Structure 1
């Protein structure tokens, strides 16, 4: 037995001596003895296999882990998914959570049960993968071990980037040299970067003390410099997050009325969800070619809860795609044609808007409310007479959320009095929040419904 152990040690030394001296995700694991193992959980001293290690690194309590050796059925995958959703995402757990969610999403999209041996086989590629974390660090996909900070996180072309790496994305580690991978985790492009010879051990030692949501919030705080009060203002956010908010009118109405700090926190929350699910807070624009295509569409409720619904999408409509293949989701970027005059249908007609100008105001209000009543005017809650004052307060008066359907005869009768009330109000030099509240009060007084 002693001779056998000596021989095994010698063989292991020979095998590793050929690996490049540059650090990599695999060599940087430095796992404790109880986790020591090779690919697929067949280590000589291994007490827990790769999947057990992944669940621990993802921040799950041991009592909620899927048991070793048991087939992972779809019901089990759903339970793990729900447990992950209830568990806080930290910087230390960010990478492993991305890997675990990738595996579960793949399973659930195909509605398949996976034998445990195959599950371990599917985990093998992750030994050679790293993930870009929200604080700009590349980390191991299985253990979350930090390797090196690759740059400050910033928004470029709708993506959260650190150097040449996108936050939340997987990359293939070849001896400390990194390449992009496709949705099947295969290398798919040229060299993006490599580890420096000097590593930032101090910051690596402090790993795990932060909250990933907080890190995304800090990154967005540098990008969102003014409150988002119109659809154009959403351009300060990652593209998929902006599309998601813009495509959910009821939520956008609430979001646009929030103070700046709350807007940043909400954007960080949504960004973190998308990063964990799809590895990106950006999306790919696409135009639907086939008529009546039934697609899983992602949207937000008025309260900000993510919802997925299978929708028959008309041909020609533009969408933002998150992911590819069976697990992809879509965000609608355009709305169907506005309803005809007199239509009483209260169902939402869509989520896209024409440019927010005076000429498009009535049609955009119809798209927002899902109706275009015959005996009502498309009323500017914030009168055009004072457009300059409203603009100085950060309000685009032609945004449909600041519009209302006002019964024609009442509108014509009270328009002058309504504008006079605003003239008196501006003498008080009101704040943004006071302007919004005064608009609501006038809506109650003059008998029309405010949409913000």
Structure 2
């Protein structure tokens, strides 16, 4: 009898293998009460009469004073405020699913840059009732409630083709649950695709009952600790990490210089931090590999500061670059992975431009020309590696947050024209900087000078 009572208590917490999809997920019903639940469902206060969006904010870990009010349309600025509030809170395993879902919805609102009526917001959440997401500890969980369903792939997270995988499921990705059978979904999350697995009858009920209170970052670090065997001190060593994370570190030379000097455990934790960010926001730490085919395309490119802070900048990316696309549609960002395989016609390729993964040397004056060749994939004959932001005013630019030796702030300028117009060019910068311009004004003036003096900028 005691054993039977223990079984009843545990299955009451975790569900039964024959439960319907709605029962397993505690799909939110109108009024916020899960199926079979009477009054407060155990007294935890999670199932008060709130709509899906209010519950999602709560389960994602937002403090109540930061919640968006029920019934009010959601403006892009308010979506940004919710995003920032989430960033100030830690991600637990229990909140992983709801947090991933809330960030997905907020990114949609921010991307479309117009107010979203509350009724439409609730309509969009309906598809999440039947979605699950893979956590970094190998558990498949409800995308709305975070409730663990089953450990997949024996709970082992592996690196396959640059992706963090648990069985056939990618960490951070959404899947459609159709009665315990799981399918990939399209960008809208509504149309099921290929079947990738199903819920086993032998539910891992004991571990599921105890699971959920841990830290998602800690679990990601544990997963990566199984993959990283040696300290990462070269671009080749980055191959031990998910592909987008590796490319992000390789394309940020100042950060890589610091990262490569860290002890192994700190390297793993930093990689776990970056992986968790990419998974939570974009659903993957690998991205979708693509080769950019439009010359002069201005794209949002993800980069790292020397201290490891993530930043998104609009960058003119030369044609032929390989990149990892994170996210889809208008909300996608890109991580540059390597330079083009072949130079443009009439250009001479330097040996540096063939470097592994398109990595850069430290951003110094001595490395500027070689780094610019790596960035553009060419070293044109008869051209100078020009500092768009004049070295003469490096201190002024540094105050504005610009390293003049960053190759993205370089340009190839025909030698004779450069020598003839250099004095006038610097005079224009001196006059402009006298008005204490903002960062954006400096960037825009640099672009204007490029058009006026006849060279192409890369930012």
TM over 0.5: yes
Name the SS for the 2:22 alignment partner: coil
Where does residue 5 of structure 2 map in the other structure? Answer: none
| Aligned pairs (5 A) from 1:227-246 | 227-246=231-250
Taking a change above 3 Å as real, the CA distance of residues 243 and 188 of structure 1, as seen in their structure-2 partners, is farther
Where does residue 176 of structure 2 map in the other structure? Answer: 172
Matches of 1:97 and 1:78 in 2, distance apart?
15
Matches of 1:67 and 1:141 in 2, distance apart?
22
| Higher mean C-alpha displacement, 259-268 vs 307-316 | 307-316
1:48 paired to 2:50: yes
Task: Give deviations 1:142-186, integer Å, cap 9, x for gaps.
Answer: 110110001211111111100000000000000110000121113
Matches of 2:59 and 2:208 in 1, distance apart?
16
1:355 paired to 2:355: yes
Assess if the C-alpha contact under 8 Å between 2:322 and 2:339 holds in 1: no
Matches of 1:364 and 1:175 in 2, distance apart?
50
For residue 36 of structure 1, report the CA deviation from its aligned partner.
Answer: 0.8
Taking a change above 3 Å as real, the CA distance of residues 332 and 197 of structure 1, as seen in their structure-2 partners, is same
Question: Which residue of 20, 28, 47 maps to 2:24?
Answer: 28
1:217 paired to 2:221: yes
Name the SS for the 2:195 alignment partner: coil
For residue 62 of structure 1, report the CA deviation from its aligned partner.
Answer: 1.4
For residue 369 of structure 1, report the CA deviation from its aligned partner.
Answer: 3.4
Where does residue 115 of structure 2 map in the other structure? Answer: 113
Task: Give deviations 1:380-422, integer Å, cap 9, x for gaps.
Answer: xxxxxxxxxxxxxxxxxxxxxxxxxxxxxxxxxxxxxxxxxxx
> How many residue pairs were aligned?
330
For residue 368 of structure 1, report the CA deviation from its aligned partner.
Answer: 4.8
For residue 202 of structure 1, report the CA deviation from its aligned partner.
Answer: 1.6
Question: Which residue of 322, 329, 336 maps to 2:333?
Answer: 329
Where does residue 104 of structure 2 map in the other structure? Answer: 102
List gaps (5 residues or longer) in structure 1: 1-19, 39-44, 338-351, 375-452
For residue 23 of structure 1, report the CA deviation from its aligned partner.
Answer: 3.6
Matches of 1:331 and 1:29 in 2, distance apart?
35
Taking a change above 3 Å as real, the CA distance of residues 335 and 29 of structure 1, as seen in their structure-2 partners, is closer
Taking a change above 3 Å as real, the CA distance of residues 252 and 373 of structure 1, as seen in their structure-2 partners, is closer
Matches of 2:27 and 2:124 in 1, distance apart?
20
Assess if the C-alpha contact under 8 Å between 2:322 and 2:340 holds in 1: no
Matches of 1:368 and 1:237 in 2, distance apart?
24
Question: Which residue of 364, 369, 374 maps to 1:369?
Answer: 364
Taking a change above 3 Å as real, the CA distance of residues 309 and 364 of structure 1, as seen in their structure-2 partners, is closer
For residue 190 of structure 1, report the CA deviation from its aligned partner.
Answer: 2.1
Name the SS for the 1:92 alignment partner: coil
Question: Which residue of 241, 254, 257 maps to 1:253?
Answer: 257
Where does residue 10 of structure 2 map in the other structure? Answer: none
Question: Which residue of 81, 88, 91 maps to 1:89?
Answer: 91
Matches of 2:112 and 2:308 in 1, distance apart?
28
For residue 372 of structure 1, report the CA deviation from its aligned partner.
Answer: 4.9
Assess if the C-alpha contact under 8 Å between 2:27 and 2:129 holds in 1: no
Name the SS for the 1:308 alignment partner: strand
Question: Which residue of 121, 124, 142 maps to 1:122?
Answer: 124
Task: Give deviations 1:266-314, integer Å, cap 9, x for gaps.
Answer: 0000000000011111022222211110100000000000000001111
Matches of 1:254 and 1:336 in 2, distance apart?
27
Name the SS for the 1:27 alignment partner: helix
List gaps (5 residues or longer) in structure 2: 1-15, 36-46, 342-351, 370-459
For residue 22 of structure 1, report the CA deviation from its aligned partner.
Answer: 3.7
For residue 187 of structure 1, report the CA deviation from its aligned partner.
Answer: 3.4
For residue 353 of structure 1, report the CA deviation from its aligned partner.
Answer: 5.8
Assess if the C-alpha contact under 8 Å between 1:26 and 1:140 holds in 2: no
For residue 69 of structure 1, report the CA deviation from its aligned partner.
Answer: 0.9
Where does residue 305 of structure 1 map in the other structure? Answer: 309
Matches of 1:281 and 1:292 in 2, distance apart?
26
Larger radius of gyration: 1
1:314 paired to 2:324: no
1:161 paired to 2:165: yes
Superposed CA RMSD: 2.7
Matches of 2:325 and 2:304 in 1, distance apart?
16
Assess if the C-alpha contact under 8 Å between 1:138 and 1:146 holds in 2: yes
Task: Give deviations 1:312-335, integer Å, cap 9, x for gaps.
Answer: 111122222112210100011235
Assess if the C-alpha contact under 8 Å between 2:26 and 2:34 holds in 1: no
Matches of 1:196 and 1:204 in 2, distance apart?
13
Question: Which residue of 273, 277, 283 maps to 1:279?
Answer: 283
Matches of 1:370 and 1:319 in 2, distance apart?
27
For residue 59 of structure 1, report the CA deviation from its aligned partner.
Answer: 0.9
